[in-house]
Structure 1
Amino acid sequence: MQRLRILRAVAEHGSFNRAATALHLTPSAVSQHVAALERSLGAQVVARSTRGVTLTQAGQIMVGAAESVAAELEHAKQQVDQLSTGRLQLTVATFTSGGRLLLPGALTRLMAAHPRTVLHLREGEPENTLPLVRQGAVDVALAYHFDGPLPVGPTPGSSLEWTPLLEDPLHVVLPEGHRLAGSDVLDLAELAAEPWVLGCLKAEAYLRRYAERAGFAPEVRGTTTDYFFARSLVAAGMGISLVPSIALAPEIPGLRTVPVKPPGPVRHIGVAAISRSDRPHVTTLIQALREQALQQHSQRRSPD
């Protein structure tokens, strides 16, 4: 188990040195443990290069198994706690804008169905919270991804399941006096000369991918970790922004929001959990999140 724990750290940090620092070991000790694991398996579990290490297919299988064991141990601890206290423990992770939109209503339904549930909440980005689900430290994670797969998705041997909830298109946010503020829809190419301020650290790379397809390189003057702050900077005249639809509330005076011409950038929101048949409170919460997402989708489609 110790060797598997070390392999998980190597996979997470991408190098023996960083894994050793996290584990309070020497890089030599980490390398020796990985080598011993490879000898016992008769297979290579990491591919070494000058840029670090990556898991081989065999390594992915072993890390998935290690995470499943960790999740099982955590689940067993919760069951023991339930025996002694009669209460269900539930830890939920979420990103800010999705949690604000979907969680309050879903948690109300959960507590109505399972009133003895003790809730714990953790806020974080998907690349940080999804590994916690796989390890059993978090029961449910409300998360998102842009184009492509989840940032830390299921691996061989992992029982992580992803349930899609909502598609969250991104909109251009402009000062109301902007020359394009009256547009019904915008092509990103029309914004090639504009400065940008963004509300998510990952949004810059996402914007640059779409801008490249439109034939320009965006001038990004600032990136924050809060969409409301980014919109406030737009209102102050610092630039324009690209904001997911669920992060457009509350309104800020002096701004206009315009959809991007299809196919535009979209954020995909969903919920991750370990698949089990003996966790009814988790099943209830996921169903409640689906109902909340469906309600939001219906409100979007309803005429004013």
Structure 2
Amino acid sequence: MIDVQRLRVLRAVAEHGSFNRAAAVLRLTPSAVSQHVAALERGLGSQVVTRSTRGVTLTPAGRIMVGAAESVAAEIEHARRQVSELGTGRVQLTVATFTSGGRLLLPGALTALTAAHPGTVLHVREYEPEDSLPLLRQGAVDLALAYHFDGPLPGQRGGGPALEWTPLLDDPLHVVLPQGHRLAGRETLDLAELAGEPWVLGCLRTEAYLRRYAGQAGFDPEVRGTTTDYFFARSLVAAHMGVSLIPSIALAPEVPGLCTVPVRPPAPARHIGVATLGHRRARTEITALVRALEHASAALRPYAP
């Protein structure tokens, strides 16, 4: 029989990349962590980690077991919450969301949900997708409003609980310029036309995305300002700190002194959707909230800044 505590230890080792860091998080000694992993390997008859001077990496067997560990953790958390609901008689629903999507899509969807299911106790937590999706896999949240760019969803790993992705809308990025800028009157822009401009970032995750698109356009962007807030980034653009690349749904409320220009196709975009655990999607409240988010996002198409 596989020990649940050993799975928990392996998951921590995988997340933190070393026995020492996992031990600090779990409040164990590195020796105890090593013993748990070694015992798991003996029980499986297979090596789950590869140790080196640079840290610890998972073997194929290790990746399978980490996926199993995430599934077990999610089920235990789900069972704990069900027991809690038995005691209170009220359904608990925890929603994770990124800031701009939550601000625009969630209020109406939550209003619709509570009208249809007045006994539901709602909790909202703000997380970027690289944090919210692992929490969803672990059972700490029930639903995640998230986004991704060109690639797959962040934090996707084989073997863990299956995530079900419901696309809501595409959110194209626009160039934001200070009024009076030489390109402010254009109907569309090529990123290559901004090769000599300083840049302001409204989200740290967009830097790699911007650099990839800029590289395709033949230049390396000079980043002069970094923030984690699109409104602040637009305020810096209005102060002539530089130009920025901002998603459509983050262009409100309006900041005076700015001009917004769409990027010429193929335009970079965020793909916004809602992630749930596939085997939990049947919960009435989760299904109702997904449908409410679909209605809220449909009202935004096409979205114009």
Scaled by the length of structure 2, the TM-score of the pair is: 0.94
Q: Which amino acid aligns with 1:150?
A: L
Please state how far the C-alpha of 1:53 moved relative to its aligned partner. Answer: 2.6
Equivalents in 2 of 1:170, 1:35: separation in Å? 49
Please state how far the C-alpha of 1:154 moved relative to its aligned partner. Answer: 4.8
**Aligned match for 1:297, one of 288, 296, 301:** 301
Please state how far the C-alpha of 1:163 moved relative to its aligned partner. Answer: 1.7
CA spacing shift, 1:212–1:299, aligned 2, 3 Å: closer
Aligned to 1:51: 54
Q: Which amino acid aligns with 1:296?
A: L
Q: Is the counterpart of residue 6 in structure 1 residue 6 in structure 2?
A: no
Please state how far the C-alpha of 1:299 moved relative to its aligned partner. Answer: 5.0
- Cα deviation 1:197-220 (Å, max 9, x = unaligned): 110011111111111111111000
**Aligned match for 1:180, one of 179, 183, 191:** 183
Please state how far the C-alpha of 1:86 moved relative to its aligned partner. Answer: 1.7
Q: Is the counterpart of residue 165 in structure 1 residue 168 in structure 2?
A: yes
Query: Structure 1 vs Structure 2: percent identity of aligned residues?
Result: 75
Which residues of 2 match residues 213-228 of structure 1 at below 5 A? 213-228=216-231
Q: Larger deviation: 71-80 or 240-249? A: 71-80
Aligned to 1:264: 267
Aligned to 2:85: 82
Superposed CA RMSD: 1.7
Contact 1:78–1:88 under 8 Å retained in 2: no
Equivalents in 1 of 2:215, 2:103: separation in Å? 32
Aligned to 1:285: 289
Please state how far the C-alpha of 1:129 moved relative to its aligned partner. Answer: 1.3
In the alignment, structure 1 segments of 5+ residues that lack a partner are none
Contact 1:200–1:223 under 8 Å retained in 2: yes
Q: Which amino acid aligns with 1:245?
A: S
Q: Is the counterpart of residue 93 in structure 1 residue 88 in structure 2?
A: no
Contact 1:168–1:268 under 8 Å retained in 2: yes
Q: Which contiguous aligned blocks of 4+ residues in structure 1 show a shift greater than 4 angstroms?
A: none
Q: Which amino acid aligns with 1:136?
A: G
Contact 2:195–2:221 under 8 Å retained in 1: yes
Equivalents in 2 of 1:80, 1:237: separation in Å? 56
Equivalents in 2 of 1:252, 1:294: separation in Å? 26
Q: Is the counterpart of residue 109 in structure 1 residue 112 in structure 2?
A: yes
Equivalents in 2 of 1:298, 1:266: separation in Å? 14
Contact 1:154–1:160 under 8 Å retained in 2: no
Q: Larger deviation: 59-68 or 130-139? A: 59-68
Which residues of 2 match residues 130-169 of structure 1 at below 5 A? 130-169=133-172
Equivalent residue pairs, number: 301
Q: Which amino acid aligns with 1:122?
A: R
Please state how far the C-alpha of 1:278 moved relative to its aligned partner. Answer: 4.8
Please state how far the C-alpha of 1:298 moved relative to its aligned partner. Answer: 4.4
Q: Which amino acid aligns with 1:17?
A: N
Equivalents in 1 of 2:281, 2:235: separation in Å? 46
**Aligned match for 1:64, one of 64, 67, 71:** 67
- Cα deviation 1:72-116 (Å, max 9, x = unaligned): 222222222222222100011111001001101111111111110
Please state how far the C-alpha of 1:228 moved relative to its aligned partner. Answer: 0.3
Contact 1:162–1:273 under 8 Å retained in 2: yes
Q: Larger deviation: 139-148 or 17-26? A: 17-26
Which residues of 2 match residues 201-220 of structure 1 at below 5 A? 201-220=204-223
